[in-house]
């Protein structure tokens, strides 16, 4: 409550706030509270810093990282005395830390503006403090250095080994996805990479990362994910059982265009999605079907890769399609049911199985070929 009177601090006559004139009140009641020295833990290995939880810096530039650390260390230490107060923080970065045992002090200038309840006009309050960086090793890096891991990600192919091309492509894909995941999951690191003759194994610091990357592989290549857990001990602090999880993702045995066998009939793979493989029979019925991966893995098998199928040249289209084998010049005749539109001179792919020829499809023209 404001009344006019004599300030008990300086003796001036003025409108009083809690017995003080506006000048003395401002001196006795700063707009913010902040200690002269603020300390913050910073990992000397990865540059992360601890607020309530460990944070990964937004930038990769050393000066920008230090600015960010000093800014948030100061911001967390400031207590505003009123909702009508705003402040600006100005760290002054003049040096970089020299290593694990180095000490770094960052001067910070704070400018607060606003007013407290009972004051008529806004005022400015400035203060200089120091932010002291304590160089430590964060839990993530500590676990990384001790080869800690929570999950194993296994990358395989159904009913066969990965090819060298697939191994290289999938390894690059896994590492790219983990790099993206690290931005929100600091434990998404590779503790150990273990190439196997049948595929790729990654020991990862996070179960969530293993599940996430397995799902990304499935979304891109199709296939099946399985998960198992092994008891490895008991947490000393909580008494809860500790498990290591193995997440296995198996990409399809075949690709679009390959010929597979299913229930004693031959099909060409026409499409692969995250959940299913779609196929079309290569007999006269040209039946289209879709199989979930858990069925496809058990009940289909590779017959011939698309690039390994024989080729033939169309020599007639009515009443039936007649083709000449490009290798042995044998002539084969197929029912013309309109499923494959060809004309004389076109190239087609054929499958010869146990002396029986099957017309698979028309060879697509190379648009770049002149």
Strand pairing partners for 89? 110
Distance CA(215)–CA(353), nearest Å, equals 37
Q: Count the neighbouring beta carbons within 10 Å of the beta carbon of residue 262.
A: 18
Distance CA(303)–CA(309), nearest Å, equals 10
Give 33's DSSP letter. E
Phi, psi for 36 (deg, rounded to 5):
-65, -30
Q: What is the pTM of this model?
A: 0.71
Q: What is the pLDDT of residue 102?
A: 63
Give 299's DSSP letter. H
Distance CA(234)–CA(251), nearest Å, equals 34
Q: What is the pLDDT confidence band of residue 10, given thresholds at 50, 70 and 90?
A: confident
What's the whole-number mean pLDDT along residues 330-338? 88
Distance CA(337)–CA(322), nearest Å, equals 13
Q: Is the pLDDT of residue 239 over 80?
A: no
| 39-68 pLDDT, tens digit each | 999 998 888 999 999 998 988 888 999 999
What's the whole-number mean pLDDT along residues 313-327? 93
Q: What is the pLDDT confidence band of residue 366, given thresholds at 50, 70 and 90?
A: low
Cβ contacts of 13-19, under 8 Å, gap ≥ 24: 17/118, 17/119, 18/118
Q: What is the pLDDT confidence band of residue 36, given thresholds at 50, 70 and 90?
A: very high
The H-or-E segment that residue 156 falls in is strand 151-157
Contact criterion met (CB below 8 Å) for 350 and 323: yes
Distance CA(65)–CA(59), nearest Å, equals 6
Q: Is the pLDDT of residue 370 over 50?
A: no
* Residues ≥6 apart with Cβ < 8 Å to 208: 185, 187, 188
Percent of the chain with pLDDT over 70: 95
Q: What is the pLDDT confidence band of residue 368, given thresholds at 50, 70 and 90?
A: low
Secondary structure class of 310 (helix, strand, coil): strand
Q: Which residue has the tokens 């500590």?
A: 142
Nearest-10 crossing angle of helices 164-181, 207-221: 130
* Residues ≥6 apart with Cβ < 8 Å to 235: 241, 242
Mean of the per-residue pLDDT values of the chain? 89
What's the whole-number mean pLDDT along residues 257-278? 94
What's the whole-number mean pLDDT along residues 184-205? 93
| DSSP labels, 94-133 | -----STT--EEEEEEEEEEE--TT-SS-EEEEEEEEEEE
Greatest C-alpha distance within the chain: 119
Closest by CA to 126, choosing from 31, 231, 21, 22, is 31
What's the whole-number mean pLDDT along residues 327-340? 88
| 170-183 pLDDT, tens digit each | 999 999 999 999 88
| 83-123 pLDDT, tens digit each | 999 999 999 988 776 655 567 899 999 999 999 988 888 99
The beta strands (E) that lie in 189-318 are given as 190-195, 200-204, 224-234, 241-251, 259-262, 265-272, 276-281, 288-292, 300-304, 310-316
Q: Is the pLDDT of residue 124 over 80?
A: yes
Q: Within 13 Å and on the Cβ side, how many CA atoms surround 92? A: 7
Distance CA(329)–CA(315), nearest Å, equals 11
């Amino acid at each position: 409550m404001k009344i006019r009177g004599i300030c008990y601090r300086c003796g001036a006559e003025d409108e009083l706030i809690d017995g003080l004139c506006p000048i003395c009140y401002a001196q006795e009641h700063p707009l913010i509270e902040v200690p002269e020295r603020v300390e913050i833990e910073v990992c000397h290995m990865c540059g992360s810093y601890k607020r309530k939880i460990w944070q990964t810096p937004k930038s990769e530039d050393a000066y920008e990282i230090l600015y960010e650390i000093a800014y948030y260390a100061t911001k967390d230490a400031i207590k505003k005395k009123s909702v009508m107060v705003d402040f600006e923080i100005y760290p002054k970065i003049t040096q970089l830390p020299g290593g694990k045992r180095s000490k770094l002090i960052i001067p910070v200038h704070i400018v607060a503006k606003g007013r407290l309840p009972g004051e008529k006009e806004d005022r400015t309050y400035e203060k200089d403090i120091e932010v002291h960086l304590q160089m430590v090793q964060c839990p993530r890096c500590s676990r990384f250095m001790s080869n800690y891991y929570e999950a194993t990600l296994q990358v395989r192919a159904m009913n066969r080994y990965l090819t060298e091309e697939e191994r290289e492509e999938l390894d690059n894909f896994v590492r790219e996805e983990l790099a993206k995941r690290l931005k929100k999951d600091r434990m998404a690191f590779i503790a150990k990479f273990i190439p196997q003759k049948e595929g790729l194994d990654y020991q990862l610091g996070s179960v969530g990362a293993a599940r996430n990357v397995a799902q990304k592989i499935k979304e891109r290549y199709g296939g099946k994910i399985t998960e198992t857990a092994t008891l490895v001990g008991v947490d000393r602090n909580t008494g809860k059982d500790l498990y290591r999880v193995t997440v296995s993702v198996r990409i399809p045995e075949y690709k679009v265009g390959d010929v597979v066998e299913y229930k004693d009939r031959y099909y060409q793979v026409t499409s692969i999605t995250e959940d299913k493989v779609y196929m079309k029979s290569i007999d006269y019925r040209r039946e289209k079907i879709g199989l979930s991966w858990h069925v496809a893995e058990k009940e289909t098998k590779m017959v011939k890769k698309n690039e390994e199928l024989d080729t033939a040249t169309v020599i007639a289209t009515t009443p039936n399609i007649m083709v000449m084998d490009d290798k042995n010049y044998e002539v084969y005749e197929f029912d013309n049911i309109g499923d494959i539109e060809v004309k004389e001179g076109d190239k087609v792919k054929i499958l010869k199985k146990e002396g029986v020829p099957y017309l698979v499809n028309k060879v697509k023209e190379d648009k770049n070929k002149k």
